[in-house]
Amino acid sequence: MRGPHNIIRLIRTGATMVRTGAMDVVLDAFDAPAPLRALAYTLGWPFQWLGYKGDPNMPPATRALTALGPAYIKFGQVLSTRPDVVGEEMAQQLRVLQDQLPPFPRTAAMAEVERALGRPLAEVFSEFSEPIAAASIAQVHRARLTETGEDVAVKVLRPGIERAFNKDVDAFYFAARIVDLFAPGARRLRPMDVIEHFDGVVQGELDLRLESSAASEFAANTSADEGFQLPRIRWEASARRVMTLDWADGVALGDNAALDAAGHDRHALGERVLSLFLRHALRDGYFHADMHQGNLKVAANGNIIAYDFGIMGHIDEYTRRVYAEILFGFIKRDYKRVAEVHFEAGYVPADRDVDEFARAIRAVGEPIFGMDASQISMGNLLNYLFEVTERFGMETRTELILLQRTMVVVEGVARSLDPRINIWEVAQPVVEDYIKKSIGPRAIASDLMKTAKVMARFGPRLPALMEQALIAQSQQPSGDKKNRAWQIPTAAGAIAGILLTLLISQLLS
């Protein structure tokens, strides 16, 4: 129900930020200008009595987000990976949102498991621990399979989580509608499409059968990736609200002290996180879209272990090529080509000046080169990027939202391991390899073969197509000679084209 009652929800958001003291922290973290600070307090201060109190033992920002609900917690998880945007102190405070939220009782989790699997818990698990990690949507227990005695991790959805998420997303829809109505200049950001996309992602995350399926597909794609591993899904002990997978021992990727004590090379781990993400996105078009530190471990042998597959990203082959060309252009500092790709893909309106856009892109890319990564202000860079998109009327591309968001998160994870990591230097070999395989003569041959195979499916329909073309030609009025003369070669050309495609497909197969 996206009605005006959501105004109270939005007011309560601001009021909670003020009441918990988070407003100051957030405004300081983003270095907000004086007018914005004045507006925030004008809207939030009079209504602070409506705000949630939250847990006073938590830091202000974490306290506010946990009090507001799971959708806000998701937002905090993203910010927790960006110390270069929000500051190291705030990032550390928000990191507890990844897997250290207050759990729900073990007895409630056991009851959920029994309901989901339709049998007594003891038939499935001989042991079932207290919660060992709790996030915004679910929590995890360590258990032991009754039949085999193997250790497993059991993920259980929070009771009532569907209703809580739907309430938050409902308010987001209302806010997006207000933006559409009262801020025409922001419509290019397509706020309704963005919220619809977020809603779809969340709904998929609330069905653990889909997460199990995603994990299985992801494992098949990445089975040969060196230095990367995934726990195996136990389908016999999984359902819509419960997912069971092999137990994975390792050091949390966000615990630098433990990584150092275990002798792991943090710089190498940071580079590997970045390169793995790019490889999965470009090579497979299917990637882990929630790669924060709470979902990553490092095994004793140095392998990176990923888990929590509730949010997975998918991009089609055309979009992958566009994305790769844009990255490649940045890496080679060919800003004219970067601009041209944006125009060719329709990301920038055709009536804008490509050379001017190239100069604006250069101002984004040049500070990255010849400078230590720790000196680059990602906050300032993101602000300038936003200014560029606004000036050139670029619309939000919903198909790229998860890709862009994950890129930000993954770079944040890599920088938390080593602040001097430069994303462009790490990306270059991965992108160049993809370019060689997917943009060039080999790609053209591959595209021709795929097209031929699709066209070959029309082979059985050739006689009918020929008959339809001849009937249509014979029924044309005799006086319309011009049209008849045009239709005959057109019909013949279409049929000849299909025949030629069939021939090519046979030669290529």
Q: Which residues are catalytic?
A: 290
In 3D space, the residue among 468, 470, 471, 456 whose CA is nearest the CA of residue 507 turns out to be: 456
- 23's tokens: 């407003």
- How many CA atoms are closer than 13 Å to the CA of 128, on its beta-carbon side? 23
Distance (Å, whole) CA 272 – CA 417: 11
Asked if 262 and 298 touch (Cβ cutoff 8 Å), the reply is yes
Q: What is the rounded CA–CA span in Å between residue 106 and residue 27?
A: 38
Is 113 exposed, middle or buried, given 0-12, 13-18 or 19+ CB atoms closer than 10 A?
Answer: buried
CA angle 141, 146, 148 (to 5 degrees): 105
DSSP state of 103: P
Q: What gap in Å lies between CA 305 and CA 218, rounded to an integer?
A: 13
The number of residues making up the chain comes to 509
Spatial CA neighbour of 461 closest among 408, 404, 406, 499:
499
Strand partners, 252: 297
Element (H, E) at 422: none
Instruction: For residue 260, give the H/E element and its range.
Output: helix 256-261
Beta bridge partners of 314: 286
Strands of the sheet with 125-134, listed across from one edge: 125-134, 138-145, 151-157, 242-246
The Cα 131–Cα 124 span in angstroms is 18
For residue 199, count other CB atoms closer than 10 A to its CB.
17
DSSP 224: T
* Strand, coil or helix: 218: helix
CA 167 to chain centre: 22
Main-chain dihedrals φ then ψ at residue 36, nearest 5 degrees: -70, -40
Integer distance in angstroms from the first to the last C-alpha of the chain? 54
CA distance 181 to 8: 18
